[in-house]
Amino acid sequence: MSFQEFGLDPRLLQAIADVGFEDPTPIQTQAIPILLEGKDLIASAATGSGKTAAFVLPILHRLLPKERGTTRVLILTPTRELAVQISDHLAGLAIHTPLAGAAIYGGVPMNPQARAFEQGADVIVGTPGRLLDHLRYDYADLSGVEVLVLDEADRMLDMGFLPDVRRIMDAIPRTRQTLLFSATLPPPIVKLSKDILRNPVTIRLQDKTRPADGIEQSVFPVRQEEKPALLAELLRREAHKSVIAFCRTKSRAEKVSRFLEREGIRCARIHGDRSQGQRLEALDGLKSGRYQVLVATDVAARGIDVEALSAVINVDVPRQAEDYVHRVGRTARAQLTGEAFTLVAPEEERELAKIEKVLGRKLPRRQLEGFVPQSFLESVGRRRGRYPATLAPGRSAAGAGRADGGAPAAASAPAAPARRALRDRELWEAMQAAQGGAFVPPRGVSLPSRRRR
């Protein structure tokens, strides 16, 4: 099926060609005809499936014949990043039309947003909290809303926004078309859908726990304290141009980003304590290539859209399989391909096993050839007074060296030839223990034979 077969306005078809869409994705193929008929919809589709265009295109087609100056569409999202992403998509698809939208979210001044209400922006994309701030004033008139979209409804539930959503719905007409998109359907979301949707059509394209096709997933076992060093080495060796590295907490994201900066890796960070200006600068920098990696917490997991993002790296194992799916779903978007690496410490193996159980398969384990943890080298250096000659603390044995291309830092202890050092049985067994029994030595280095005692 082609986009031409939907009967969309020619100006929208031109925009579709401009942004490089070729054939509609499965969610677009199923949802667009339903929405063009004006029916309510509840849909579950994988992250990166083309869901945003699936509802934006029929909305724009519906608005084109109508008079302007009235806000006719309201799109609610859980995060400011997602609001900006949807607003950008809308602007790109409406570029050949007079239609305009506005993003309404916290962390920035309200006055420019108030002007969008006063001018009657055709589409308002907003977060519940900031939208309620505006609704206290007379200029925020939503009485002309004809279409309501709840995007990432389950995330709004997780963030405690459902009471705010219900308050917002009291400010818009009851007669409207309503679209609800949610990766999962917990009981509160089911109840909400029954309250606000009228005879909805349901689309379930992909299980919530299955990442989008095209994502190559793998796991790197590593000790917790060595994760930043392994992350830096992965970024050097894999040559990925745009990467998102996910951490569990804000403090963890700060520490990891500072480590990468010291290693000479171009990085930015995004988490709940960053201002909106800092968040936008970080996202723009990743998209433009100014930064190679964006270190983020889960606050941004569902609100980042970077074209052709090459990889996602889980510095910390997500607590839930659903969070894993949404993290890795940042890559391989719109039927592209990408990679997802997860760094797993021994104490995280149980959480990873739960994710693998839900995924229905065991993720392949990998070792970075020649990578030797700094803590191991320091402990060996203290005990034995030497390092393997090709190794230096915190660096790889494969000769990656510094980020500026220089030679690895010299070891503080006297060096010994790599072959002799690695043939030392005690050193080899310690190396195996440090890497979970699966250390991969540098090319050309012989391993000791295991003798029976």
Write the pLDDT tens digit of every residue in 349-384. Answer: 999 999 888 888 899 998 887 776 655 555 555 444
The secondary structure of the chain in percent helix, strand, coil, rounded to multiples of 5, reads: 40, 15, 45
Average pLDDT over residues 211-234: 85
Q: How confident is the model at residue 252 (pLDDT cuts 50, 70, 90)?
A: very high
Most confident stretch, 22-31, 142-151, 385-394: 142-151
Q: Does residue 408 carry a pLDDT above 80?
A: no
Tell me the sheet residues that pair with 342. Answer: 219, 314
The average confidence (pLDDT) of the chain is 80
Location of structure tokens 């308002």: 124
Q: Does residue 287 carry a pLDDT above 70?
A: yes
Q: How confident is the model at residue 159 (pLDDT cuts 50, 70, 90)?
A: confident
Question: How many CA atoms lie less than 13 Å away from 157 in the CB half-sphere?
Answer: 17
Average pLDDT over residues 175-195: 85
349 three-class SS: helix
State the Cα–Cα distance between residues 421 and 390, nearest whole angstrom: 10
* Residue with the larger pLDDT of the pair 18 and 394: 18
Please tell me the predicted confidence (pLDDT) of residue 47: 61
Average pLDDT over residues 311-338: 76
When mean pLDDT is compared across 52-56, 164-168, 422-426, the lowest value belongs to 422-426
Please tell me the predicted confidence (pLDDT) of residue 364: 92
**At a CB cut-off of 8 Å and minimum separation 6, what does 364 contact?**
217, 218, 219
pLDDT in tens, 198-217: 999 998 875 555 555 568 88
Q: Which CATH class is domain 3-204?
A: alpha beta
Most confident stretch, 154-158, 251-255, 390-394: 251-255
Distance linking the first and last C-alpha atoms of the chain: 68
Are the CB atoms for 294 and 243 separated by under 8 Å?
yes
Q: Does residue 283 carry a pLDDT above 90?
A: no
Q: Does residue 238 carry a pLDDT above 80?
A: no
Q: Does residue 251 carry a pLDDT above 70?
A: yes
Are the CB atoms for 270 and 300 separated by under 8 Å?
yes
Are the CB atoms for 341 and 314 separated by under 8 Å?
yes
Q: Do domains 3-204 and 215-359 have the same CATH topology?
A: yes
Q: Does residue 270 carry a pLDDT above 50?
A: yes
Question: Residue 298 CB: number of other CB atoms within 10 A?
Answer: 21
The pTM (predicted TM-score) of the whole model is 0.62
What are the extents of the domains in the chain?
3-204, 215-359, 374-434
Q: For the structural domain made of 215-359, what CATH number should be given?
A: 3.40.50.300
Please tell me the predicted confidence (pLDDT) of residue 376: 55
Structure tokens at 251: 């403090």
Average pLDDT over residues 418-422: 46
* Residue with the larger pLDDT of the pair 370 and 236: 236
**At a CB cut-off of 8 Å and minimum separation 6, what does 31 contact?**
41, 43, 51, 54, 55, 58, 203
Please tell me the predicted confidence (pLDDT) of residue 306: 63
Give just the sign of the alpha carbon dihedral 271, 275, 278, 284. Answer: positive
Most confident stretch, 41-50, 54-63, 185-194: 54-63
Average pLDDT over residues 85-98: 95
Q: How confident is the model at residue 242 (pLDDT cuts 50, 70, 90)?
A: confident
pLDDT in tens, 337-351: 678 899 999 999 999
Are the CB atoms for 156 and 165 separated by under 8 Å?
yes
Q: How confident is the model at residue 73 (pLDDT cuts 50, 70, 90)?
A: very high
Please tell me the predicted confidence (pLDDT) of residue 176: 95
**At a CB cut-off of 8 Å and minimum separation 6, what does 302 contact?**
47, 78, 79, 82, 152, 155, 326
Are the CB atoms for 35 and 69 separated by under 8 Å?
no
Question: Residue 38 CB: number of other CB atoms within 10 A?
Answer: 11
